[in-house]
Amino acid sequence: MAYGTIGAGISQPSAQLVATLNAITQKYIFPTIGDQVFIPSPLFWGLTKRGKDIREGAEIVYPLATTEEMTGGSYYGDQLLNTTVVDSIQPANQVWRPYYQSVAVPVTDIILGRGGPMGLDLVRSKMEIGGASFLQKLCRAMWHTSPQNTSTDIDDLDSWVRLTSNTIAGINRSTSTFWQPAANGAGGAAALTPTVFENAYQSVTYGYDEPDLCVMDNTRFAAFKLNFTTLVRFTELEQDDTALQAGFRYHFVVNNAVIMADRFTPAQRAYILNSKYIFPIFNANDYFKIDPWMQPTNQRVVVSKIYLTWQLANISPRMCVCITNLA
């Protein structure tokens, strides 16, 4: 971007009457802000495609069935039946995580930048950029990517799906193995193959309950897709048709899983997920709340903030798996 331009910034070529045109000409302002920095996350859509899950309460507690109650089986006649009481439910506890995005604009800039018949409104433009910036922070937090990788950020997808010996939602997975995800699939330092994918997919398939999402970065996606482009199955009939509004319609489907490329995904990994069990949850009392514009007493600047309190829930980690060590 060039600063310090005199007048309208007209030069020769293409103009000849440079000074005159710089004095009397109005620039054409393109009526759309060109995005050169933000990255969309198909996975964020994928995990919320069933609709936003809004909850209330001071914290989040999941009642988990952790053991089969063995007080039953065959019997005959007047045999005494086992009536032992079994405490088979264990709570998992998550805490909410609040996030914010600040938007600040000097009042003098607002006076000068209110737009016009050919201009953009400064305040509206800054709010649009603020909203997009906030979404980037939420996407990075979901992957525990810097700078959204602190101890106050949400429980991230990698902690839920890849790690097996960490403590999450108050439960130590080293000792409570029921709370572990499926064992990581082994990529073998090679491109993801249908065989490796199928083995990992079946490790998190329980009867009719199958994964519905698979996400990887663009490099891994391109290599995996090449396995299917020459097959008859890679047709419109085999493409996902549930994402029309989000614009990801033409991602292909393997088994029941939509295969998506997401630039936030760590390299050398692929994640097979069941969105019925892992999804963002939002606090009903702090769901994209926006402060009124306020001005400090010693500055002619107006400030507004956007707030969201949320978490990434996973009520059954065994339904998801990570494939590691991919080329």
Q: Is the pLDDT of residue 181 over 70?
A: yes
The domains of the chain are located at: 94-326
Looking at residue 246, its pLDDT comes to 44
Is the pLDDT reported for residue 235 higher than 80?
no
pTM of the model: 0.87
Could you tell me if 312 and 278 are in contact, meaning their C-beta atoms sit under 8 angstroms apart? Answer: yes
Determine the average pLDDT of the residues in 293-309: 95
- The whole-number pLDDT of residue 175 equals 94
pLDDT average, residue stretch 313-321: 96
Q: What is the pLDDT of residues 197-231, one digit of tens each?
A: 999 999 999 999 999 999 999 999 999 988 887 65
E strand spans, 233-298:
253-254, 257-261, 270-273, 278-290
Retrieve residue 98's tokens.
């609040």
What CATH code is assigned to 94-326? 3.90.1690
pLDDT at 118 over 90: no
For residues 264 and 139, is the Cβ–Cβ distance under 8 A? yes
Look at residue 5 in the predicted model and tell me its pLDDT. Answer: 73
Cα 238–Cα 244–Cα 246 angle in degrees, nearest 5: 120
